[in-house]
Amino acid sequence: MITFSIVAHIDHGKSSLSQRLLEHCGNIDAAAAVGQDALDTLAVERERGITVKAVSASMVHDYEGQKYLVNLVDTPGHADFAHEVVRSLGACDGALLLVDAAQGVEAQTLKVADAARAAGVPLLAACSKVDLPTANAVDVALDVAARGLVEDPEAVLAVSAKSGLGVADVLDAVCGAFRPPADDGARRRPLRARVLDSRYDPRRGVVSVLRVVDGELREGDRVRFKSADGRSYGVQELGLLTPAQQRTKGLVAGCVGYVACGLRDVRDARVGDTLVADSEAGADAAPLPGGVAPSAPALYASVFPPDGAAFDDMAKAVERLAVNDASVSIAREPPRASLGLGLRLGFLGLLHLDVFRQRLRDEFAEDVLFTAPLVPYRVRWRDGTTTELATLDDWPSAEEQRAAVDAILEPSVTVDVAAPRDHLGAVLEVLENARGAQRSLDVDGDRAAVAYDAPWALVVDGLAEELAHATQGYASLSVRSSPTYVAADVVKVDVALNGVAVDALAFAAARGEAQRRGRAAAARLKAVVPRQLFEVVIQARVGTKSLARERLPPLRKDVLTTKAGKNVGGGDVTRKKKLLEKQKKGKAKQKTIGNVSLGQDALWAVVRSG
């Protein structure tokens, strides 16, 4: 039995190759699967055309006269879901590094290769999309070897998921290179299995994906999770993933499969935990080493139910979805006057936040309200202490900044950007506009690599997309280091409706960018805020200084027309003026007591104002 994962930069053909491998082994019908991706099962994945969850599938392959059970793990390529890659590598015997033969080695290619090395996982390299007219597999293979990703460039495979070229060679190479160390006693040892993933099923409770490391697991066994509170559960159903669930009633050491134990408390099946037998031997069994460390959130956003009374339902849905996405952190949010009770969630990036929001709606029918995200700023006070700004409500006022604040500290990271040499000028321009500071610049043939220190807020707010747009999609970005804090001129921008600041719409920006972003936010809000019977004035401001102003005119009603459709008659104009004045007073009263209903479209308009 062999477990391997496919890792690569985004859009280098991981899911397409995985589909072809499943077709080659007979797991899925090639004719029935035309136009579909068997491993992208989530609605958000099919709608956006991206992979956000690592998915396992077991195949049987003949190699040198023996049958091998090969467990494939298809991983995401976007940097916002790098935690899924790290989690998958921890359970693999090897990894197939896929490199686009037309694009070459990109920033995320090096990032996932470093993650494999850190996990102690051997690498096998392959050039994908070799049938494209612009493909140059030979040069890419030489580049892969020159960067130390493999030793021999001739060992780099050439594959095309579209034509099927080299698909069978991939499985042969995997079985030859990633043979796990022989351990005949593994099945006789007490049960230990690592939890790789979990999801909540309304009918069966929590369903976990795990890899059995020691012993055997069968239906009817009593098991428990090592880090839980000692409760035991009976195994109700288990089997292999092909990727459909195939019930086998038993799993042995080396197998990757699913298990349903009837758990209703999602906190008992955390990713990285160890499943053991509910016996004396299980109690003595040590947890499996090398668990997945919790990911550090890159940004935070607060989430609230549209109806304050529905907080418990929202909290339950968020907790159940977080079981399937272990990189999300959850904490209670202090009550807000305009939104009520909420949760503070940590994400790895804006795309991660947007996908989580869509999954809440698609899978749990929770159409919740997310506030503008905030990277973790800090305040250094003049007395030498430093505090972290958990939310924008904690941002020091203008008076506090003048009297007690020494500096606002902004998180900064080192990013690596890879691009063709012809696009180097565009890359440098984008990074300079992003308040970046150059660390290094290397040009090797037709490729250029740049390292810059840049504000973390701009990195998570679409810097990679901006680089791709400026270079026709050729530039790629990866983050090299964890954030460090530097002093920066950053301000809090409040967004007010009819003079009342809406805390959910506030955001932080560099002082030089505050006016541009404030104008963009006000303009976007004007387009999505519903018109009222009274005038709505939208303002963006820093303290008492107004940066932008937009006016949403009121809905008008012709009060001079009767129900029969006739105008108010009479030759005396004072009667008409009296009716118009009465309407004017009514609108003024409505403006003082009326509430503007804001949906997620309004809140998301501010998020994308950057």
Annotated binding site: 8-15, 74-78
| Beta-strand runs (E) in 143-202 | 157-158, 192-201
What is the CA 87 to chain-centroid distance, rounded? 14
Contacts 24+ apart (CB under 8 A), 443-448: 445/421, 446/420, 446/421, 446/422, 447/104, 447/105, 447/143, 447/418, 447/419, 447/420, 447/421, 448/418, 448/419, 448/420, 448/421, 448/423, 448/424
Residue 81 DSSP class = G
Give the list of residues 6+ apart from residue 584 with CB closer than 8 angstroms, or none. none
- Whole-Å CA distances, 283 to 287, 357, 527: 10, 39, 61
- CA 570: distance to chain centroid? 67
Count the Cβ atoms, other than its own, within 10 Å of residue 323. Answer: 22
Contact 227, 235 (CB under 8 A): no
Query: What are the tokens at 545?
Result: 């200084």
For residues 68 and 2, the answer to whether their CB atoms sit within 8 Å is: yes
Angle 239-243-245 from CA coordinates, rounded to 5°: 35
- Binding residue ranges for GTP: 8-15, 74-78
Residues 200 and 270: their CA atoms lie apart, in Å, by 12
Q: In 215-349, where does DSSP find H-type helix?
A: 280-284, 311-324
Residue with tokens 């992003």: 434
Task: Compute the distance between CA of residue 565 and CA of residue 558 in angstroms, rounded to an integer.
Answer: 10
Which two three-digit tokens encode residue 593? 């007591």
- Compute the C-alpha angle 492/597/458, nearest 5°: 30
Least Cα distance to 123 among 103, 161, 151, 100 occurs for 151
Q: How far apart are CA 556 and CA 64, in angstroms?
A: 81
CA atoms of 477 and 463, how far apart (whole Å): 8
* CA–CA distance, 579 with 133 (Å, rounded to integer): 74
Q: Which residues contact 8 (CB under 8 A, 6 or more apart)?
A: 14, 77, 97, 98, 99, 100, 108, 109, 112, 128
Contact 598, 502 (CB under 8 A): yes
> How many other C-beta atoms lie within 10 A of the C-beta of residue 291?
17
